[in-house]
Amino acid sequence: MIVVKQINKSFGTHKVIEDISFYIKKGQIVGLIGPNGSGKTTLIRLMNGIIGTNGGVIQINGFSPNENGDDVRSFCGTMTENAGLYEEMTGRDNLNFFASLYLNVDLERIEKLIHLFHLEPFIDRKVGTYSTGMKKRIGLAKVLLHHPKVLFLDEPTNGLDPDGIRLVLSYLKQLNQEENTTIVICSHVLEQLETVCDRYIFIEEGKKIEEGTKQELEEKYLHEIQLKITGDFPLSLLTDLHISITKEVDGIKLSLPDLDTVSNVLKQITDRGKLYSAEILNNNLEALYFTIRRSNHHE
């Protein structure tokens, strides 16, 4: 579906993207992760054909964004932090206008999206009066008007309240499952990406530093497991197992070599006492992200 091969992009003498390659299968949800200024937004603009590369190959569903930009944009939806709305027009007029640019969008589709993103209370007000969260929701409706096969989303939940975030993320999962839509998401909120993404691509200073599923990343980078437990059991049980123990106010933190050891320790505790809670502290996406960055800096 998406092929990116050895692409480069510079603005003047400043290299923004350097020799990046990856492949995204149809129907995958991929998180594009990196600090501010790493090149994430530029990469999305390159894939959508808004700007051209200085070298390398990009293909979106067999089309080159450089040579067939209009074709690519006809089946892609792109949402950047700037929603690209006309602020002197109402939300409804914005949707009607953008719908008129496509051949296959009818009034029913517009009304469905208005209802889906709970836009009714403000849809007939001028967009200039909207809050950031309102603009974000109508911006999402705008890019979904033409049933895109590919979605490029740059910080899609910025400015949304918790209910809005849950709404957007659940809809993206539903869209992916029902229509097999390929989705690329940039976000700084890694906890949100972890709930929806199949795979992750990490970039820094315009270069790809890692990619993989969460399981693949854990296998490569999770060399020690930090397990926090609470319960009622003899501490001698843990010392007998020769485990590194750190007592904390709200529990005990253990350093364990692998998941098999975690299972063994938990079984020993439940056999000889009571286990109230157990949580692995360092296998979430955010922890893996910082481990990957540190590893890359040490190379």
Q: Determine the Cα angle at 145 with ends 142 and 151, to 5°.
A: 80
Exposed e or buried b for every residue in 225-251, given b needs 16+ CB within 10 A? Answer: bbbbbeeebeeeebeeeebeeeeeeeb
Query: What's the confidence (pLDDT) of residue 103?
Result: 79
pLDDT band at 298 (very low <50, low <70, confident <90, very high): low
Share of the chain above pLDDT 90, in %: 61
CA–CA separation, 6 and 17 (whole Å): 10
In angstroms and rounded to an integer, the radius of gyration of the C-alpha atoms of the chain is 23
Check if the beta carbon of residue 34 is closer than 8 Å to that of residue 1. Answer: no
Using the Cα atoms of residue 112, residue 116, residue 122 and residue 127 in order, give the sign of their dihedral.
negative
Higher per-residue pLDDT: 217 or 159: 217
pLDDT band at 236 (very low <50, low <70, confident <90, very high): confident
CA–CA separation, 250 and 108 (whole Å): 54
Query: What's the confidence (pLDDT) of residue 299?
Result: 56
Check if the beta carbon of residue 37 is closer than 8 Å to that of residue 224. Answer: no
Q: Determine the Cα angle at 155 with ends 139 and 78, to 5°.
A: 50
pLDDT in tens, 143-189: 999 999 999 999 888 888 888 888 889 899 999 998 899 999 998 88
Long-range contacts of 158-164 (CB under 8 A, 24+ apart): 158/81, 158/132, 159/131, 159/132, 159/133, 159/135, 160/133, 160/136, 161/133, 164/133, 164/136, 164/137
Domains of the chain with bracketed CATH: 2-218 (3.40.50.300), 223-282 (3.30.70.100)
- The one-character DSSP state at 160 is -
Q: Once rounded to an integer, what is the mean pLDDT over residues 122-130? A: 96
Residues 6+ apart with CB under 8 A from 121: none
Share of the chain above pLDDT 70, in %: 99
Check if the beta carbon of residue 269 is closer than 8 Å to that of residue 275. Answer: yes
Check if the beta carbon of residue 7 is closer than 8 Å to that of residue 53. Answer: yes
Beta strands at 251-256 and 244-248: parallel, antiparallel or unpaired: antiparallel
**Local structure of 151: helix, strand or coil:** strand
pLDDT in tens, 3-49: 999 999 999 999 999 999 999 999 999 999 999 889 999 999 999 99
Beta strands at 150-154 and 182-186: parallel, antiparallel or unpaired: parallel
pLDDT in tens, 245-296: 888 888 999 999 888 889 989 998 999 899 999 999 888 999 999 999 988 7
